[in-house]
Amino acid sequence: MINRKEKEVQTVLEVVIAEPDPPEEADEEDNYKEYKMGEDKNFQRADIGLIGLAVMGENLALNIEKNGFCVAVYNRTTQKVDNFLQSRGINKNFIGTKTVEELCSVLAKPRKLIIMVKAGNPIDQFIDQVLPCLDEGDILIDGGNSHYLDTIRRTKYVNEKGILFVGTGISGGEEGALNGPSIMPGGNEDAWSVVKPVLQSIAAKVDGDVPCCEWVGNDGAGHYVKMVHNGIEYSDMQLICEAYQLLKSGLNLSPGEIHEIFKSWNSGPLNSYLIEITSEILDHTDEKTGEATIDLILDVAGQKGTGKWTGISGLELGVPIPQIVQAVFTRCLSALKSERVYASAVLSGSNQKISDQSDKFINKLHNALYASKICSYAQGFQLLKFAAEEFDWDLNYGDIALLWRGGCIIRAGFLKNIKEAFDSKSDLTNLLLDPYFAKIMIDTQDDLRYIAKQAIDCGIPLPSMTSALNYYDAYRCARLPANLLQAQRDYFGAHTYERIDKERGEFFHTNWTGQGGETASSSYNV
Ligand code: 6PG
């Protein structure tokens, strides 16, 4: 393994202010420590290092420091380090460093180093830069939104060099990073006992002192769970947007009136961070124009890719997650702004108006939103189940629901019930089959149908709620028309089919036209 002790001694001396010269025999690590601790009470090795002082990195560093740890910070543009230490980091327990070597030299061993840089190549570059400065057993923690396959690859790569890797999802945006995010760590479990005290202390807490940070699983498991969190986040946001559009275009309510509705919904079963911020957004007035800010924002949604990754994973694993995929595509459709504006003048729709303008409609909309949200979480958790099988991760779904109860973007009251559902039946195949959620679905499905019908009649798009309803109806359908689909495949391509009067796994081919041969194609499934 890399032995950098002499260099380390030298570099520390450059960064620690007013260091006396080391004693002559200070070339051995142990001597060096002794000298530091014995002769210079001011010297302190940092508990943890952090690379990347962008918004998330800076806030995370402040959060770690305020929880009693000494944090060494580094940023590629070193001016940022100075700026940070002179502003938000002033008079706090930070050690600023100007090179990756310096950073590694001031860290207590085993070194713990959080990388908070842009996902993708920059992470690989930093890993390669930092590896020569590390010793066996040191721990690299990637806290960005990395793709889980990259995390699997990186875990293997750094392990070959004797370094432990933790790929952790961190959710909660700027505010969460500073005051308590949800943390989803995965990677080398040997690293968990070492990083646990830091990560759990900075995480959001629920029920008083339960941290929203628990070990998730091997290699890419933490980043996979964070990715699914984001897929659900896309879906949650889309559902709220659909409710907003029905209230705005269907009932012609003002932002102020819709604000009141979301505010009241937030004190019921829909209680969640996203409902809460939606209510606040709708109450915001633009300083310049005096208009509701929401009405001034262009209707073109951006996306950084994690929703798309979730959709791709669903397709790869063959798991139906239509609401998440729909949410991604609806963002894509919103981006076709000029085409939509043109089409709005060319393509006609419906002249119907929502027939029921009373509070009853609003109550039904509430239930439709709740039912759709449950379907969306059911899809997300089912995706996790298939992924656990595929990647050999021992996921604990109750714990995952706990991680999402606080700090993260999808935090919501009903995650407590999801936790209870998986805690009482860890092999639950689908959340819709849990008695608590099954009852809610049975009780609210009529309202979801009603809302879907109203929106369809009035020509108001409702992609995610209708997708939820279709998912619900298809999932509870004992006999789907896939028999016909199989017959079609067999007709044109001899792809074969299974029969209801034979054992599963036996495949048959019919010579449908009397002209085709008896040769069947293979019956593999992707
Ligand atoms: C979080 C968020 C965050 C996400 C951004 C941007 O959990 O804190 O999920 O990680 O990356 O919200 O996402 P989009 O740009 O794709 O909407």
User: What is the average per-residue pLDDT within 132-156?
Assistant: 97
CA of 157 to the centre of ligand 1 (A): 27
Please state which of the four CATH numbers 3.40.50.150, 3.40.605.10, 3.40.30.10, 3.40.50.720 is assigned to the domain occupying 35-219.
3.40.50.720
179-217 confidence digits (pLDDT tens): 999 999 999 999 999 999 999 999 999 999 999 999 999
Cβ atoms of residues 419 and 405 within 8 Å: yes
Give the alpha-carbon dihedral of 62, 67, 68, 70, to 10 degrees: -30
CA of 408 to the centre of ligand 1 (A): 10
Instruction: Please give the Cα distance from 497 to 388 (Å, whole number).
Output: 29
- Which DSSP letter does residue 351 get? -
Give the SS3 label for residue 154: helix
Instruction: Please give the Cα distance from 177 to 155 (Å, whole number).
Output: 24
Nearest ligand 1 atom, CA 305: 16
Instruction: Please give the Cα distance from 11 to 133 (Å, whole number).
Output: 12
Q: What pLDDT, on a 0 to 100 scale, did the predictor assign at position 166?
A: 98
CA of 170 to the centre of ligand 1 (A): 10
Q: Which CATH superfamily is domain 227-475 in?
A: N-(1-d-carboxylethyl)-l-norvaline Dehydrogenase; domain 2 (1.10.1040.10)
Q: Ligand 1: which residues within 6 Å by Cβ?
A: 145, 171-173, 230, 233, 302-304, 306-307, 408-409
380-436 confidence digits (pLDDT tens): 999 999 999 999 999 999 999 999 999 999 999 999 999 999 999 999 999 999 999
Active site residue 263: no
Cβ atoms of residues 397 and 422 within 8 Å: yes
Instruction: Please name which of 451, 314, 302 lies closest in space to residue 372, comparing C-alpha atoms.
Output: 451
Over 80: is that where the pLDDT of 221 sits?
A: yes
Active site residue 233: yes
Over 60: is that where the pLDDT of 437 sits?
A: yes
Strand extents, DSSP E, 430-486: none
Q: Which two tokens stand for residue 487?
A: 């017959």
User: What is the average per-residue pLDDT within 169-176?
Assistant: 96
Nearest 5 degrees, angle CA 183-CA 184-CA 190?
110
Q: Please state which of the ranges 201-210, 220-229, 352-361, 391-400 shows the lowest mean pLDDT.
A: 352-361
Over 80: is that where the pLDDT of 11 sits?
A: no
Same fold, 35-219 and 227-475: no
Nearest ligand 1 atom, CA 172: 8
Q: 481-526 architecture in CATH?
A: Up-down Bundle (1.20)
441-477 confidence digits (pLDDT tens): 999 999 999 999 999 999 999 999 999 999 999 999 9
CA of 304 to the centre of ligand 1 (A): 7
Nearest ligand 1 atom, CA 331: 17
Number of Cβ within a 10 Å radius of residue 271: 14
Q: Please state which of the ranges 38-52, 221-235, 318-332 shows the lowest mean pLDDT.
A: 38-52
User: What is the average per-residue pLDDT within 161-170?
Assistant: 98
43 — pLDDT class (breaks 50, 70, 90): low
Over 70: is that where the pLDDT of 25 sits?
A: no
Catalytic site residue from 8, 101, 214, 233: 233
Instruction: Please give the Cα distance from 1 to 11 (Å, whole number).
Output: 19
The mean pLDDT of the chain is 92
Percent of the chain with pLDDT over 90: 88
Per-domain boundaries in the chain: 35-219, 227-475, 481-526
Nearest 5 degrees, angle CA 348-CA 350-CA 356?
160
Number of Cβ within a 10 Å radius of residue 65: 20
